[in-house]
Structure 1
């Protein structure tokens, strides 16, 4: 894999009320250039995420291994979310509007590695301050540029 990659992230959040009513919220999609490196058998992807309506960016690092995905955010928001199948991880999520205690219960974690691409699929339950907020899906594709 090359140092310069293209990262595609898409996600869907189904809120608790929406599940009961059979509706879902709008998908979240981001395609951005990123930098990639491999260290100690783990894949690292770094990229910046603009925030609408607020000056500044969120610096993101995604760490991918066979059985765990970590998303580390710094800047306008700060957190270290861990996705590990069958486990619940708690973390503080600092936002410009205040802090939240976030719980992530990962149900599905699938990592597919090929020569020029890495695909990640995560299905998890998200709770905030002890209350279930949403069921979520994330798909990531890390692809060599050029």
Structure 2
């Protein structure tokens, strides 16, 4: 799959009064099949000799986003107005977590666009964190980009 799209992801997480933010900009793939869009990118873990983990965001219509990471170890279903039980890999083992999605705002189109998702995670029905993901997808300027190892 050609990595010919810039993918910028800003993730915010609030736990009690602590707020954290992570930003990732990388090359990846963006594919449209009917009413479903796939955003595929790699994350590199500096704690594991920069081992690559592939992440896939599957956007169905405008209300459901499925996040799959690491060959199925993490699978979060983010569906507006619904709560799902999902598997989340912490790096030390998998947890079963509740995911309630309050907002999915997809402005994705054939050439890219933006996606915003707000959701909460709970463990044993206790609120764990409030989360927001903002994703921007745009075509890379070079049409022949095949792979990426560096961030933009």
TM over 0.5: yes
1:1-146 matches, within 5 Å, as 4-15=4-15, 17-18=16-17, 24-55=18-49, 56-65=51-60, 66-75=62-71, 78-114=73-109, 116-146=111-141
Cα offset, 1:130, TM superposition: 3.3
SS of the residue 1:53 aligns to: helix
Q: Which residue of 2 aligns with 1:21?
A: none
1:70-120 residue CA offsets vs partner (Å, 9 max, x unmatched):
111115x81111111100111122343112112110001100134533211
The whole-number CA distance in structure 2 between the counterparts of 1:68 and 1:133 is 21
Q: Alignment length, in residue pairs?
A: 138
The root-mean-square deviation of aligned C-alpha atoms, in Å, is: 1.9
Cα offset, 1:131, TM superposition: 2.4
Runs of at least 4 residues of structure 1 off by over 2 A? 113-117, 128-131
SS of the residue 1:138 aligns to: strand
TM-score, normalised to structure 1, is 0.84
The whole-number CA distance in structure 2 between the counterparts of 1:129 and 1:47 is 31
Moved more, 61-70 or 134-143: 61-70
Question: Structure 1 residues 114 and 45, CA, compared in 2 at 3 Å: closer, same or farther?
Answer: closer
TM-score, normalised to structure 2, is 0.81
Question: Structure 1 residues 97 and 67, CA, compared in 2 at 3 Å: closer, same or farther?
Answer: same
Q: Is the CA contact (8 Å cut-off) linking 1:108 and 1:122 kept in structure 2? A: yes
